Amino acid sequence: MATKLLSDLPTLTLLYKLNKLSPSAFPLAPGATPKYNDKISLIRTDITKLKADAIVNAANESLLGGGGVDGAIHSAAGPHLKRECRTLDGCDTGDAKITDAYELPCKKVIHAVGPVYRPTKRQGMHTTLLSGCYTRSLDLAVESGCRSIAFSALSTGVYGYPSEEAAETAIAAVAGWLEEDEARAARLERVVFCSFLQKDERAYEKFIPMFFPPASEQSATTEEGGETATKAEEDETMGNSEDGETARKEEEDETMGTAEEHDTGGKAEEDETMGTAEEGETEPPQLPDVPTQAPKEEGEPDAKKQKLDVHDATAVEHEEPAKEHEATK
């Protein structure tokens, strides 16, 4: 197989454009961003053929070579690689060390010791240890002046790490490292996820869009979030307005009720007054007795009644029949 140059490797931006990589069918990871899509590549090939500044070997703690990718790198690099590795006194799990590349097309080999899945998972350390392999490798690359780095699928071989779980951890670790220090991240021009087996490639295709989505999807998500926020603000404003109108309506109703109570009270007072007046009108006025005698001045004695003479009374009695007789005539 011929050596592959970085210019031969498609970036995530190109893979999305060619529909070789699809937007995530799952919710985006926190902090997901497309701003590194021109810096990241995904490919399935033989990592020993990549002409990157540094490649990352899936090493064991002895650093003296083994099976799988580790054996292939040592074989392609020649015996000088093992000689240098012997001087490094091994490496702890979750850490990495760097050497020259010798006969490999790359400049440096970073030997990262990934965790054996089952025992480290029982200890709850598997994710931390695997993440450490990726972040430490990135640090070593930058410290050594490397402008590009290619990762193999660490721990997914005989160490038994499930491909999807390993891919998600690897991508999250790289994304976090890039975001942690943008000035440091700018010193790397390319980060390559290089798989040899199809199961690993598919795992990366599933999880990369969750952390590094296409720019169009990120814009749509941002706009949707903005529209949702705007709608929420409008709803809140409308709610406040409605609350204000309701409060004003209640105040008006209360005022009207008070006015009606005053009107009712005034009407009641008027009715009571009218009733009192009507009651007064139904009683007859108390008039003074008709006088039976002429008024007298103060101190004047009462007038004495005149006594009629018996003869005079008899005369009157005789006069009355006479008058009636004359009238008959």
pLDDT tens digit string along 136-145?
A: 999 999 999 9
What is the rounded CA–CA span in Å between residue 139 and residue 112? Answer: 12
**11-215 sits in which CATH class?**
alpha beta
Token pair 């702890």: residue = 92
Average pLDDT of the chain to the nearest whole number: 80
Cα distance from N-terminal residue to C-terminal residue, the chain = 181
Residue 90: what are its φ and ψ, rounded to 5°? Answer: 70, -170
Q: What is the pLDDT of residue 310?
A: 42
pLDDT tens digit string along 87-138?
A: 999 999 999 999 999 999 999 999 999 999 999 999 999 999 999 999 999 9
What is the rounded CA–CA span in Å between residue 55 and residue 267? Answer: 100
Q: Give how far Cα 45 sits from Cα of 24, 165, 309, Å.
A: 24, 21, 172
pLDDT tens digit string along 27-58?
A: 999 999 999 999 999 999 999 999 999 999 99
Highest mean pLDDT among 163-167, 215-219, 310-314: 163-167
For 132, residues 6+ apart whose C-beta sits below 8 A from its C-beta are 94, 95
